Amino acid sequence: MTRHQDDDEGALVAALRAGEAAAYEKLVRGYGPRLLATARRILRDAALAEDCLQETFLKAFDKIDGFEGRSALGTWLHSILVNQSLMKLRKNKRERHEQIDDLMPQFDSNACRIEAPWSYLATPDELLERDQTRALVQSKIDQLPESYRIVLQLRDIEEFDTETVAAMLDITPGAAKVRLHRARAALKVLLEPLLRGEGPL
Amino acid sequence: MTSIWTRMMETMKGIMLNRMPGMITCMEFEEFLIDYMEGELPAGQRRVFELHIKVCRECRDYMAAYKRTIEVSGRAFEDQTAAVPAEVPEDLVQAILEARRS
């Protein structure tokens, strides 16, 4: 982040703390679009995402005095949003998820990996030129247990770094890495037919 | 059915990875993988990790598919990413600001 942005952000936070109406509006208009997009991707439901955005800002207005500036304002807002989203997901329990243990890599008694040869591995361009691929991949990500899916979503799709993801979820970076790795490994198994070019999943 | 030859090769590989200095097993490779991907493996461990990739077809294939999974999942939301609204719907902005005042 540039110095200029830092100054802007500092001024905005000060104005929010002072209760200036224009500052609240600037916060909503400035940070709202990206937050709304993230909420839509996590919740997969436009109406729930809008509710979540509203709750996020109300919480942020309420807690702005506690914002210590250790992370960027946008990251702080995302942390609130992610936690609000997770509460919503828990309330709206969705379809049954896969058991993560069933999707972990397999090893033989010598600690050697069991992995069928990959004579063909489809490229992203090949896969994504078909319209239905995105929906298929999204539905496979949805099958991951929530605590794993959220880490994969924040790291590989929203592209926050692992430290930030850990801070957002209030877990250690080590725990975040374990979950991320297991989520990717499980998703690899779920996507195997697609990646091997074996037609619809 | 696994042939005797294949089973013998598997046993040899197991002995090599478990016993030879500078080698790690596939299970150990699995534990290192996330740190390797994050660029956090110290140089010595990275060399051992990369040697394993060279000698182990299974882990080489596995890692290629693992990386491809990350690429594909990152792009699976491109349509929705492109659709990031330029602004939050006006009625929602007003509802948020209204809720604050009440």
Token representation of residue A93:
């329990």
Fold identical between A3-91 and A100-195? no
Number of neighbouring beta carbons within 10 Å of residue B91: 10
pLDDT over 70 for what percent of chain B? 93
pLDDT of residue A75: 92
Report the mean per-residue pLDDT for chain B: 89
Q: Give one word for A119, left, alpha or beta, with left for phi > 0 and alpha for psi -120 to 50.
A: alpha
CATH dotted code for A100-195: 1.10.10.10
Task: Judge whether residue B45 has pLDDT over 60.
Answer: yes
Using a CB–CB cutoff of 8 Å, tell me whether A156 touches chain B. yes
Is the Cβ pair B87, A57 closer than 8 Å? Answer: no
pLDDT of residue B2: 66
Residues of chain B in contact with residue A192, where contact means CB-CB under 8 angstroms, are 65
B12: closest chain A residue by CA: A110
Are B66 and B30 in contact, with CB atoms under 8 Å apart?
no
To the nearest whole angstrom, how far is the Cα of B46 from the nearest Cα of chain A? 18
Residue B87 makes CB contacts below 8 A (sequence gap 6+) with: A29, A32, A33, B93
Query: Could you write out the DSSP letters of every residue in B6-38?
Result: HHHHHHHHHHHHHHSTT---HHHHHHHHHHHHT
Comparing CA positions, the residue from A126, A14, A122 lying closest to residue A64 is A14
Confidence of residue B17 (pLDDT cuts 50, 70, 90): confident
Q: Tally the C-alpha atoms within 13 A of residue A194's C-alpha that lie toward its C-beta.
A: 26
pLDDT values of chain A reduced to their tens digit, one per residue, 201 residues:
445 567 788 999 999 999 999 999 999 999 999 999 999 989 988 899 999 999 999 999 999 998 988 888 999 999 999 999 999 888 876 666 778 999 999 999 889 999 999 999 999 999 988 878 999 999 999 999 989 999 999 999 999 999 999 999 999 999 999 999 999 999 999 999 999 998 655
To the nearest whole angstrom, how far is the Cα of A51 from the nearest Cα of chain B? 9
DSSP summary character for residue A183 = H
Using a CB–CB cutoff of 8 Å, tell me whether A147 touches chain B. no
pLDDT of residue A70: 80
pLDDT of residue A1: 46
Confidence of residue B14 (pLDDT cuts 50, 70, 90): confident
Phi first, then psi: give them for residue A114, nearest 5 degrees.
-105, 110
To the nearest whole angstrom, how far is the Cα of B52 from the nearest Cα of chain A? 11
At the second CATH level, the architecture of A3-91 is Orthogonal Bundle (1.10)
pLDDT of residue A4: 57
Residues of chain A in contact with residue B30, where contact means CB-CB under 8 angstroms, are 105, 107, 113
Amino acid at B86: A
pLDDT of residue A199: 67
Comparing CA positions, the residue from A25, A166, A70, A187 lying closest to residue B88 is A25
Least CB-CB distance to B14: which of A110, A152, A187?
A: A110
Sorted by where each begins, the domain ranges of chain A are 3-91, 100-195
Residue A56 makes CB contacts below 8 A (sequence gap 6+) with: A35, A39, A77, A80, A81, A84
| Residue B79 Cα distances to A21, A47, A134, A142, angstroms | 35, 19, 8, 17
Per-residue burial over A3-31, b if 16 or more Cβ lie within 10 Å, else e, is eeeeeebeebbebbeeeeeebbeebbebb
Residue B43 makes CB contacts below 8 A (sequence gap 6+) with: none
| Chain Cα centroid distance, residue B25 | 17
Is the Cβ pair B58, A115 closer than 8 Å? Answer: yes
Using a CB–CB cutoff of 8 Å, tell me whether A53 touches chain B. yes
Least CB-CB distance to B10: which of A112, A138, A159?
A: A112
Residue range B80-99: mean pLDDT, rounded: 81
Does residue B24 or residue B84 have the better pLDDT? Answer: B24
Using a CB–CB cutoff of 8 Å, tell me whether A47 touches chain B. no
B-facing residues of A in 76-135 (CB < 8 A) are 105, 107-108, 110-115, 117-118, 121-124, 127-128, 133-134
Query: What distance in Å separates the CA atoms of residue A25 and residue A97, rounded to the nearest whole number?
Result: 39
